[in-house]
Every structure is written in C-alpha cells, then in structure tokens.
Amino acid sequence: MSVAIVTDSTAYLPDSVVDAHSIQVVPLHVIVGGTEFSEGVDITTAEVAAALRSFKPVSTSRPSPQSFLDAYEKAAAGGAEGIVSVHISADMSSTVESAHLAAQQSPVPVTVVDSRSLGMAMGYAVMSAAQLAEQGGSLEDVAAQARSRAEASTVVFYVDTLEHLRRGGRIGSASAFLGSALAIKPILGLVDGHIRPLEKVRTSSRALARLEELAVSAVEKSETGVDIAVHHLDSQSRADDLAARLTARLEELPDDGDVRVVELGAVVGAHVGPGTIAVAVSPRPAP
C-alpha cells in the first residue's frame, strides 16, 4: 500500500526534508493588524516578531477543511492509496478538527494523528512516518510510528515574557502575572499537548543553562539515540550557542544524535513572542 504523508506548517520541517520525502505541508494562518497571511508562504517570522514588539494585534487561525481536502486529493492523484495526516496538538489548535472533516471526503483512507506536540518534536515524528511509508509500511504502522515518536519527545522552552501566551489563552493569567510581577524567567514544558510551567529561575542565562540540563537529561533516558532541535524566535545567537553546547555534551555520551537550529515560524512565534528558545529532544524509533 502506498502511503502519503501530510502535515501542517507548525512542524517547521526544513524544505530539504519536505522535498526529499514528498511531504505535503498545509499552512496555518497568522493575522497581523487585520491582514491574514499563510505561514511559510507570505509572511516571515521576522515580520511577526516586529509586529509583536510594536504591539500590533497578532492572532492565528487553523487551515480550512478544504485546504486539507486539496492536499488529500493531490496525494491520491499522485498514486497514494492511504494518507497519514500528522498535526499540532488539538489542545493548542483546532487544525486536527479541520483534518478530520476533510478526511471524511477524501478519495482514499486518511488516518489523522494528533501529535500532542508541535515544532520539530512533531517534525521528527513526521520524518519517521515518511521513512516507514517509503519502506512499504501499512497505513496503521505509519500512523503508529508518528504517534509513538511524537509521544516519546521532550519539549522544554524559555520565553522572555508570558504575556503572549496569556493573550493567546495558552497559559493561565495567574501564571503570567506571577512571572511578570516577580521578574521570573519561566521554564515551560509541553506535557500531553498542554503548556505547563516547570520551573522558575531569575535570569535568562540561568534559564538557558537549565534548558541545556533538561535536554541532556532527556537524552540520557533514551535507549535508541536522539535527534535534537533548538528552536528560536528572533534569537539566533542564543540558539546557536545552546546548540553548540548541546553538541559538545552529546559527544560525551554514547549517542550519535543530530542537533539542528530551526527558527520558529509565524504561528507558534505569535504565541510565545520574540526571544523564545525551545529544545525538542526526539528519541529515534527502535530498529
């Protein structure tokens, strides 16, 4: 059975990976000052960061069911007999709902996977699903591969301010107030599709050091090797420094993992704000 892979733009997969595995990416939308844009198509993360810094209204919206149906029909026309559609956590976006609605009208069977994640934690799951599909995996096995790798991932991040998450309803107002009032630098984590406060530190340098330790701890728990992505929004130098430190730490461990720096896109960036640094640690599937 020929299985095609569809995902959404919040996986933040490099173009080279998308092209190599013929993955279809359906963009989410970001609205800046009342004008709607498609993520990764007609707006840059720098433009979103600038809008946030200047206090322009920024919001996001899911793709339409028709956008997914177009992707499913294109995959079917290309010879796919089944589709695995992997998406951002349903607790953070209604993208999965659009995919389910489109799946009902798809010309071939579609299994929709709620990754319970986002960014390269989801991206690595999509990559593994695509690789298994290329090896002739069944629809069920490819979907299970995506689900299991996403579930095994660890995502921790630091934000300069909780205000953007509070405005978007992604974290409670009490937590946002506490962080602002006490000048706390929060360490946050993605836990079963939800953003949860993990720890509080006093400075950004301590926050980044703690991200490093949490990432290394996640690596040490893996028995299959890992891949790591360091995400950032408008904070390239800090992301590069953290990636270099993680690469050096991996050399001390029995692991041949890859560390890549990947900029957060407009949609997630709109909710976390400029200065965000995130680390996604994704254990590889067992052979």
Residue 2's H or E segment, with its range, is: none
Pick from 157, 129, 158, 127: which is nearest to 144 by CA? 129
Local structure of 136: helix, strand or coil? coil
Residue position matching structure tokens 């409670």: 172
Quick one: how far is CA 285 from the chain centroid?
Answer: 18
Distance separating alpha carbons of residues 111 and 100, to the nearest angstrom: 9
Has residue 184 got a pLDDT over 80? no
HEC-encoded secondary structure of 27-84: CCEEEECCEEEECCCCCCHHHHHHHHHCCCCEEEECCCHHHHHHHHHHHHHCCCCEEE
For residue 200, give every residue at least 6 positions away whose Cβ sits within 8 Å of its Cβ, in sequence order, or none: 179, 184, 185, 186, 187
pLDDT one-digit tens code per residue, 1-50: 799 999 999 999 999 999 999 999 999 998 988 889 888 888 888 888 88
Give the model's confidence band at 121: pLDDT under 50 very low, under 70 low, under 90 confident, else very high: very high
**What CATH architecture applies to the domain 3-28+63-151?**
3-Layer(aba) Sandwich (3.40)
Structure tokens at 27: 């963009």
Distance separating alpha carbons of residues 194 and 188, to the nearest angstrom: 10
Distance separating alpha carbons of residues 131 and 211, to the nearest angstrom: 30
Local structure of 109: helix, strand or coil? coil
Q: Which of 8-22, 146-160, 164-178 is least confident? A: 164-178
- CATH number 3.40.50.150 is the correct assignment for the domain at 154-283: no
Local structure of 170: helix, strand or coil? coil
Q: Which of 27-31, 185-189, 215-219, 241-245 is least confident? A: 185-189
Has residue 148 got a pLDDT over 90? yes
The pLDDT, as a whole number, for residue 62 is 93
Average of pLDDT values for 138-144?
97
Structure tokens at 46: 């720098």
Residue ranges, CATH 3.30.1180.10, the chain: 154-283
Average pLDDT value over all residues in the chain = 88
pLDDT one-digit tens code per residue, 90-113: 998 999 999 999 999 999 999 999
pLDDT one-digit tens code per residue, 130-140: 999 999 999 99
Structure tokens at 260: 């890549």
Has residue 246 got a pLDDT over 90? yes
Give the model's confidence band at 174: pLDDT under 50 very low, under 70 low, under 90 confident, else very high: very low
Average of pLDDT values for 246-275?
82
Contact status, residue 253 vs residue 220, Cβ threshold 8 Å: yes
Residue ranges, CATH 3.40.50.10170, the chain: 3-28+63-151
Pick from 203, 213, 261, 206: which is nearest to 237 by CA? 261
For the packed helices 95-103 and 65-77, what is the interaxial angle rounded to 10 degrees?
50
Has residue 225 got a pLDDT over 80? yes
- If one counts every other C-beta atom within 10 angstroms of the C-beta of residue 184, the result is 17
Q: Which of 65-69, 162-166, 206-210 is least confident? A: 162-166
Average of pLDDT values for 230-255?
88
Average of pLDDT values for 269-283?
88
